Amino acid sequence: MKRNMDIIVELTPYELANDFCNMDADEQALVFAYIKQISDTWTHSLSWQINAITLSNQFSDDANKFMRLLGDYA
């Protein structure tokens, strides 16, 4: 007997960040490209979402420093 099962695995934000940090630069660059492609299908803009992130209670000083560093290099 053969059974196929579908499961849903939801990563925590920490697990997602850890996986991202374990990628090489090319893979990390692809993540940013994919985020842009996916966000193009949203009803609201990516800039709207980024603003919502910065207004979140979870947006810490470390998160702010990381986003500023990205911006400086971009």
DSSP 7: -
Domains of the chain by residue range: 11-41, 43-74
Q: How far apart are CA 42 and CA 40, in angstroms?
A: 6
Q: How far apart are CA 49 and CA 72, in angstroms?
A: 20
The reported pLDDT for the residue numbered 39 is: 97
The reported pLDDT for the residue numbered 14 is: 97
DSSP 21-72: HTS-HHHHHHHHHHHHHHHTTSSS-HHHHHHHHHHSTT--HHHHHHHHHHHH
The reported pLDDT for the residue numbered 8 is: 95
Tell me the per-residue pLDDT of 6-55, one tens digit each, with 9 for 90 and over: 999 999 999 999 999 999 999 999 999 999 999 999 999 999 999 999 99
The reported pLDDT for the residue numbered 52 is: 97
Is the model's pTM score more than 0.85?
no
Contact (CB, 8 A) for 46 and 36:
yes
